[in-house]
Structure 1
């Protein structure tokens, strides 16, 4: 079987780990607010995507879905709102690097400047950033220091990006220099997280937009939006006027090999299979695990296609509502009863055909600072007798517990399996699915759920995935504690030690892992896969640090 399991991290990233970090997007590459894999394919000529029978061009052993120089991508969720600082969602993640650029990016584990020509640390809390003096967006508006300030101030005002809250002020020094003042000395990878978190646009273009760029964004990449049909497709064309003319400074996230990019929204996993089978798309990352063998060597659709199977950087995790009125707040026995009742290996088999991984932490093993010794621990390993023992010692009285999650093909399946596993020990669960934006709006409402199923991930360190839930200063204005309302001074101290560059290391990491497992405020359950199936029209697949397809950077056959 021709499958490539790709690692998110390179050895080069480890070398710099304790000093500067590798950077991150959610963290930035993280998905802070839950994610979905999703569902409907638009594969008719009405949506502008041509079928293989009517307009495909055949050359060699591949079939092209679109026109010459075009790449057609199946994405698993609708972007919904493409504004530069809208709430994060799986659909947005799929399109962000094609539409927007950031101050920096990462290339092979190293931090590289994109809009930022260089940056300098002045003191513990102050950094200066110098911009290239010839940046412009796709409408020709110049990007200067005042635009950078406008973007960061605007992003902070939305409250959608917790990693930016460490910023105290952004000050324009001159046309191409910006000063960032932070409220504290930065933690491991935190500077990179900030620089990778805020999409950059010109203030002029943003203020000229009638909808805050929700459906017609104007960024600094080589691609401009030609059309967007919500729930169906996004079409972008190469402006042929990219601002960075020095090819040696054009990193993977900014490459623009394709003349046209069509992103087709395909929210049902099974429809990704059909789209690849019928040559409606050139590449899709939503083909379900059970269908992957059909496109691999020897499979019925193998001719002209290739497969890459990647472990996702996102971890599905369980959070208990720990607010004062919650049934879980003072009941560690109930928390552990539920943890031991869920068969994580069963979830991997059921949801990912065994290609994912049952995890042993509130994260997964792809991080360079993951301790492999955890693999041998009893991390709530499935034991129905142990679960029943804890349940008998708990205060549970048969009430229905609400399981909140973002609906998608995979999340629906996992939620249903969790419901069944808990039913086996006599715990009643009501499934409460949310659409992406509703989930984002409701996740900090203590009355919305009892148990939450969500995904989180980072592209640099395990401690930065933990930070997305357990660093209480990030949630002071929303929960008054951690993301799920935990108020525990020891947990706060341990998390702070992990993030401090002076105390970050094996000792602080193990201490936090052990304490969180002991208290069981939340825990990881399973790591999924991203199945990248593509036509041989694509000779080299390009992915960002979230394992999302970078259509413009993919290499195409002649």
Structure 2
């Protein structure tokens, strides 16, 4: 079976205009199925509209809830929002369609948008909503958003994509704040839910957007029934596909993917889609005052040149990933392809040893902190080996995700941090996750990894400002990060999607999660 191409939600034709206008994707006119079973690695647990994010929750999110807008292949389109316009630097006006109703039949108006945003903000689960000062219903179908600052590149879109929208009537009718009985404006309602086992969604047959030219990838409903099967062991995803217990999964281990490719023992009736993840694996040095890296650029460079990034790709992702040339990766629309031709700490043991000889390194053990996931654990072991071959002694310190999140801002906890970062829109917003000191000043005194550098901050603010954002300011940050070597990207991972022949085209959301309702089916 040949490897299928992944349809990144673009399952139709696009028309319209950007920035304040309505945009649309033509809905697929065929390729539907009665039922599809999706293997997921984690239970959704709390499916309430504004509960904290988890792996299982993300898998089902777009099947149940809709947002003001959606993002497809780097473009932004309205979903519940018909139009929007910027009134001034800190104010936007959004117009809704005047015929929206939720999956239970309750009409949705501007007051429900206010209710949803105010409720989401109150949970403090959504950091991107911290820029919202107020949300006000102007009338039944127009909403005013006021922000507490002039928004930077991508921030308005991120706010519109951050809050799941429900009607107040449906939410207040729920006995458990929609934890197990979510009611959004999508085409689907929960038929049954067995925690830790299975979630079944059914198409109501009464989706509010009847104009198919306005139905976007995240809102398509090509499956009458969607079953999410919770399979927590990655190896069992292989078994589930082999035995036809599931139709599609992105949880198959890298080591098993080849079994489903053409010529593999399970290839008959199956196909594989391997795509590059939008996430990057990055190295961040601890740049706090007492760190060995603070005033030793030679040590930072020595360790950077000691890493064979393509070796990491082969070792961790069977060569299906990519060695990267920036703190981010090439999946972003503002990535400069000219960077691919630049020297970016390219693997050179001799160069690494020369820098090490000029450094102040005394042979003491350095600590590499990472998260105990399969990919990070394997990468950490390889990094330890690469650094060991030039004489740098590194000890590994693995934490679970919650502890790693906390300890990364403790200057005494580590010397080097292996981290996974990514954004759903622009590369500058991936950089912001580490290098914008405004976001970390109160916690670290500088950037996420304790850098205190006024020049870096000036460059970051310039590339994030909507007035100065562009190739020149983007290149300036990239070049400065290369020059200073405070941290760097090493490899871009993969997402392995294995599916049966029942699915002819796979659809994914902007987080690279499977959209079962938008997949195209052979039936």
Deviation at 1:179, TM superposition (A): 0.8
- Pairing partner for 1:192 from 147, 154, 157: 157
1:264 aligned residue: 229
Bigger shift: residues 306-315 or 331-340: 331-340
User: Helix, strand or coil: the match of 2:209?
Assistant: coil
The aligned runs of 1:117-128 (5 Å cut-off) are 117-128=82-93
Structure 1 residues 161, 269: closer, same or farther in 2, change over 3 A? same
CA distance in 2 between counterparts of 1:401 and 1:217 reads 48
Is 1:84 the counterpart of 2:54 in the alignment?
no
Deviation at 1:551, TM superposition (A): 0.7
2:58 aligned residue: 93
User: Helix, strand or coil: the match of 2:152?
Assistant: coil
2:39 aligned residue: 74
Does the CA-based 8 Å contact 1:165-1:474 persist in structure 2? no
CA distance in 2 between counterparts of 1:480 and 1:211 reads 41
- Pairing partner for 2:510 from 542, 545, 550: 545
Structure 1 residues 8, 243: closer, same or farther in 2, change over 3 A? closer
Is 1:129 the counterpart of 2:86 in the alignment?
no
User: Helix, strand or coil: the match of 1:69?
Assistant: strand
Query: Tell me, which stretches of 5 or more residues in structure 2 are unaligned?
Result: 24-32
Structure 1 residues 343, 82: closer, same or farther in 2, change over 3 A? farther
Is 1:362 the counterpart of 2:327 in the alignment?
yes
Deviation at 1:294, TM superposition (A): 2.5
CA distance in 1 between counterparts of 2:387 and 2:134 reads 48
The aligned runs of 1:231-310 (5 Å cut-off) are 231-310=196-275
Deviations 1:374-431 (A, max 9, x none): 2232212222333334344444444444433333222221122222223333434443
Deviation at 1:194, TM superposition (A): 1.8
Deviations 1:298-318 (A, max 9, x none): 332222112222111111112
- Pairing partner for 1:520 from 485, 493, 499: 485
The aligned runs of 1:426-465 (5 Å cut-off) are 426-465=391-430
User: Helix, strand or coil: the match of 2:184?
Assistant: coil
Deviation at 1:152, TM superposition (A): 2.6
User: Helix, strand or coil: the match of 2:517?
Assistant: helix
CA distance in 1 between counterparts of 2:84 and 2:48 reads 27
2:138 aligned residue: 173
The aligned runs of 1:312-391 (5 Å cut-off) are 312-391=277-356
User: Helix, strand or coil: the match of 1:262?
Assistant: strand
1:2 aligned residue: 2
Structure 1 residues 22, 244: closer, same or farther in 2, change over 3 A? closer
1:411 aligned residue: 376
Deviations 1:292-345 (A, max 9, x none): 333233332222112222111111112223344444334333332322222211
User: Helix, strand or coil: the match of 2:438?
Assistant: helix
Structure 1 residues 85, 401: closer, same or farther in 2, change over 3 A? farther
Deviations 1:435-465 (A, max 9, x none): 3444445544445443322222233322222
Structure 1 residues 333, 155: closer, same or farther in 2, change over 3 A? farther
CA distance in 1 between counterparts of 2:412 and 2:297 reads 20
**TM-score, normalization: structure 2?**
0.87
**TM-score, normalization: structure 1?**
0.82
User: Helix, strand or coil: the match of 1:259?
Assistant: strand
CA distance in 2 between counterparts of 1:79 and 1:449 reads 32
Deviation at 1:74, TM superposition (A): 1.8
Structure 1 residues 110, 417: closer, same or farther in 2, change over 3 A? same
CA distance in 2 between counterparts of 1:107 and 1:339 reads 35
Does the CA-based 8 Å contact 2:5-2:505 persist in structure 1? no
CA distance in 2 between counterparts of 1:243 and 1:406 reads 42
Instruction: Give the number of equivalent residue pairs.
Output: 511
- Pairing partner for 2:390 from 425, 430, 440: 425
Is 1:487 the counterpart of 2:452 in the alignment?
yes
Does the CA-based 8 Å contact 2:62-2:219 persist in structure 1? yes
Deviations 1:477-511 (A, max 9, x none): 54443233322221111111112233222221111
CA distance in 1 between counterparts of 2:103 and 2:414 reads 43
Deviation at 1:229, TM superposition (A): 4.6
Does the CA-based 8 Å contact 1:289-1:355 persist in structure 2? no
Structure 1 residues 451, 222: closer, same or farther in 2, change over 3 A? farther
Does the CA-based 8 Å contact 2:8-2:507 persist in structure 1? no
Structure 1 residues 178, 113: closer, same or farther in 2, change over 3 A? same
The aligned runs of 1:464-479 (5 Å cut-off) are 464-479=429-444
The aligned runs of 1:198-237 (5 Å cut-off) are 198-206=163-171, 213-237=178-202
2:494 aligned residue: 529
CA distance in 1 between counterparts of 2:375 and 2:64 reads 27
Bigger shift: residues 200-209 or 504-513: 200-209
User: Helix, strand or coil: the match of 1:492?
Assistant: helix
Does the CA-based 8 Å contact 1:22-1:460 persist in structure 2? no
CA distance in 1 between counterparts of 2:360 and 2:183 reads 55
Deviations 1:196-245 (A, max 9, x none): 12222334554666765455433222223344455544332323333333
User: Helix, strand or coil: the match of 2:223?
Assistant: coil
User: Helix, strand or coil: the match of 1:355?
Assistant: coil
Does the CA-based 8 Å contact 1:9-1:368 persist in structure 2? no
CA distance in 1 between counterparts of 2:63 and 2:215 reads 13
User: Helix, strand or coil: the match of 2:344?
Assistant: coil
